[in-house]
Amino acid sequence: MVLIVLGISAAVVFPKLDGLLLREPEPWRSGRKLMRLAKYVHELAIATESAFVLHIDMETGQYWVAGKQVDNAAGQRSLGGQLPEEVAITDVKLPGEDRVLENVLTIEFSPEGWCDPAVVSITSSEGQTVRLVIDEWFDGMSLLGDKPAG
């Protein structure tokens, strides 16, 4: 009986405590989420021996993955999501590229293990910025910026 009462109490109390815990600032959470997605797409491209493209809409904050042979509009939106309203993509640098970006950043991941290099700046409404750095051979991906407190 004691275990049942403790289990019910924990189920009621712990969700309420979640909001009280220290949380990582939003630009860091969003950057880590995009970094995990990029790692997954990199591994997916190698495992399936198919090229994939990560699309990031810089105006709306939506991101999704599509096979390179698939029309962008019909991409696999299930492998994607939306950045929170508190953050925005404020800058993108494509090392070695002279192309002008439109609204959607595309990063191609090849079955051979390389990808398009990019530096994506994610800024919160409070002004904190982190940069997601993806290099061509995917061995130097990192988040740069002021470390979150905690």
Interatomic CA distance for residues 30 and 33, integer angstroms: 5
In a domain, 50, yes or no: yes
For residue 75, is it within any domain?
Answer: yes
Six-digit token string for 73: 């509009």
What SS3 state is found at 107?
Answer: strand
**Domain contains 73:** yes
pTM comes to: 0.73
pLDDT band, very low/low/confident/very high, at 99 (cuts 50, 70, 90): low
Is residue 17 one of the residues assigned to a domain?
Answer: no
For the sheet with 118-124, list strands across it.
87-93, 118-124, 129-134, 142-145
Please check whether residue 14 lies inside any domain of the structure: no
| 107-150 residue pLDDT tens | 899 999 898 888 999 998 888 899 999 888 877 778 888 765 54
In a domain, 16, yes or no: no
79: domain CATH number is: 3.55.40.10
